[in-house]
Amino acid sequence: MFTVTRSPHNPILSPDHNDSFESYATFNPNPIRHGGKTIILYRAQSEPEAFEGGHFSMSSIGKAEISQEKNGGYTVGGREQFIAPEESWERYGCEDPRVTKIDGRYFIFYTALSAYPLNTPGGIKVGLAISKDMKTISERHLVTPFNAKAMSLFPEKIGGKYVAMLTVNSDILPSHITLATFNKIEDMWDETYWKKWYEKLDDHIFIRGNDADRIEIGSGPLKTKEGWLFLSCRIKRHAAPDRVFAIEAVLLDLKNPKKVISMTNTPLLVPEESYEKYGQQPNIIFPSGALIKGDTLSVYYGATDTTCAVATVSLSGLLTSMKFVVPSPRQRLGLEQSAAFMRLSKKPILVPRVKNTWESKAVFNPAALRIGETTYILYRAMSEDNTSVIGYAESRDGIHIDYRAEDPIYIPKEDFEIKKIPGGNSGCEDPRIVQIDKQIYIYYTAYNGVNPPDAAMISISEKDFLLKGVVDKITKKITKDWNWNKAIMVTNTSDSMDDKDACVLPEKIKQKGRNSFFLFHRVNHVICGDWGSSPTFPERSCFKNIPILLPRPGMWDSQKVGLGPPPIKTKKGWLLIYHGISDDGTYRVGAALLDLKNPTQVISRTTDYIFEPEELYEIQGQVNKVVFPCGAVTEKGMVYLYYGGGDSVVNVAGAKLKNILKALGV
């Protein structure tokens, strides 16, 4: 598992209005180590101006030296224009450089524009500048006679030949990522070579594009123990108004780079931050370079065709995740090493019981609480008429069920949860349980089938909870009725939205000079939070619905996010495990770390998911492709995650807490 962390100092390079060649935009940086320093080449644009009957911003290639400070910030110096249009085949601009050192020289490939309008495919080709010292350019060549971009040379010969990647037909969908090999350097700008090469284009494609998504090489290849690693950009739904720019990673075989070992199963980055959403071209991020230092992969990218930014990720975490895309993720590293949750039982620990009408159709989405040597599991149970109630089970080891109640421990009692439409869904759904001092609180979704779902809460003392009912004062026997306090609504939705997946933080936090309770709840598709004076949240009519986690378009949690179990307190922050829904309707699980003193502040968030549907009972059920956790307990450094599979059964998965925190970058 891995987490990509943007530099808090982004953007690291912005336009300089005092220098005309880069006064409009500076973006798509490509880094290289030179003389013990990090040099970045980047695309620079001047202010739009009249030129040969047109009016546009001229692109050239800038150069700067970049160094990282002790506080994590970046110092940029020595900015200058390095490659400017000189030849007829680049008269309208030089864009997006990629530099490789081989044979003692620096080969800088870039996009050369020779036609106007600038999006004319026939005028978009690959140019090459060669430098011996990264100070002056000794040679310039037009490389491809056809439409191509993003060429990058491998930093060493493979099989005795020079090897390069390039995106062909980059502006004529479908675009393809291809490989070219050369016996000698001069072949790179030999027109005869390229004409023969293009005649057999299909033989050179190793990542094939399609008419819906546009794919392009981002960074040049970096050598790792597992293979050649490079970043790519996928523009999902390229022609649609809601297109998404996504940064992905690809791993190639060391000896045969035409062989794709693996690709990331979720983007590393999509536009989320303001500098990635608002600029010359909104909602664009483009990965133009990368560097490896130790176990850190630094991703350099352009944001909104305006500025340069950088993000980092654990190289080992990324490669481990990529290695296990094929075969199945269930074959990932074991519990001792992986942040991914692994099933602790080969089959569901709770299934419907036909003999009990109240749980004959489905049991799922369980809450969990550990008291002493016992884990208490409170699950959503559904009858054939689609009424949801709360069932009860116990486990000493957290995996095997030792006791299961024959009757529900709570049934719908209030108007907001009693069925209004015969046969329709209604009742008490998806409980989450929290203990504060000696009182136990259960937050659940209350639904009567007519009004939008809202969050409700019942509570009980620890003493009564452990008794599993009420002691009759005369007979001294326990009755079947638990001593619940009256259910109360804790959210207040309008007719146009639902409010679900609620739970209180298990301790008070000082806020504005007073100790306050904090409620997580999902408003429509967003995990929100609100402060309150008590666990009943009498302030619900004045909630601000503070956004905490939002869906990320183009990623595995693109459509909706919601709270999983109650957040777990760690020394590094509140561990929030959540579910996300992708474009194809698959429910997966991720994690985020929230600030201990301010739970509205997200410290980090997993880029990759940490649990997904794999077993048949998760893939097929009342709702297909669902893992939905509502409960978690920690025991001896292990997080036991209790979840519903396919909205039909209950199972438990586990992961080491330290591994999850490591994946979150802390």
pLDDT digits (tens, 9 = 90+) for 611-627: 999 999 999 999 999 99
**pLDDT, tens digit, 9 for 90 and up, residues 630-661:** 999 999 999 999 999 999 999 999 999 999 99
pLDDT band with cut points at 50, 70 and 90 for residue 7 = very high
Does residue 330 have a pLDDT over 50? no
Does residue 336 have a pLDDT over 70? no
pLDDT band with cut points at 50, 70 and 90 for residue 574 = very high
647 sits in the region (left: phi over 0; alpha: psi -120 to 50; else beta) called left
Q: What pLDDT score was predicted for residue 331?
A: 42
**pLDDT, tens digit, 9 for 90 and up, residues 200-259:** 999 999 999 888 888 999 999 999 999 999 999 999 988 888 899 999 999 999 999 999
- Cα(36)–Cα(34) distance, integer angstroms: 5
Minimum mean pLDDT range among 257-261, 331-335, 548-552: 331-335
**pLDDT, tens digit, 9 for 90 and up, residues 10-56:** 999 999 999 999 999 999 999 999 989 999 999 999 999 887 777 78
pLDDT band with cut points at 50, 70 and 90 for residue 328 = very low
- Cα(305)–Cα(202) distance, integer angstroms: 32
Choice between 392 and 328, residue whose per-residue pLDDT is larger: 392
Does residue 468 have a pLDDT over 80? yes
Structure tokens, 349:
């620990």
Average pLDDT over residues 357-379: 98
pLDDT band with cut points at 50, 70 and 90 for residue 338 = low
* Side-chain half-sphere exposure of 640, counting CA atoms within 13 A: 24
36 contact partners, CB below 8 Å, separation of at least 6: none
Does residue 326 have a pLDDT over 70? no
Measure CA 524 to chain center.
Answer: 20
Q: Going edge to edge, which strands form the sheet with 124-131?
A: 94-102, 105-113, 124-131, 139-142
pLDDT band with cut points at 50, 70 and 90 for residue 590 = very high
551 contact partners, CB below 8 Å, separation of at least 6: 525, 526, 557, 558, 559, 560, 561, 580, 581
Nearest alpha-carbon partner for 164 in 156, 175, 154, 176: 154
Residues 87, 93, 94: CA angle, nearest 5 degrees? 85
By the 8 A CB rule, do 367 and 378 touch?
A: yes
Cβ burial 437-458 (10 Å sphere, 16+ → b, else e): eeebbbbbbbbbbeebbbbbbb
Does residue 446 have a pLDDT over 60? yes
Does residue 332 have a pLDDT over 60? no
Q: What pLDDT score was predicted for residue 493?
A: 66
Identify the three-state secondary structure at position 332: coil
Q: What pLDDT score was predicted for residue 325?
A: 46
Identity of the residue numbered 544: K
Which helix or strand (DSSP H or E) is residue 192 part of?
Answer: helix 191-199
Average pLDDT value for the chain: 93
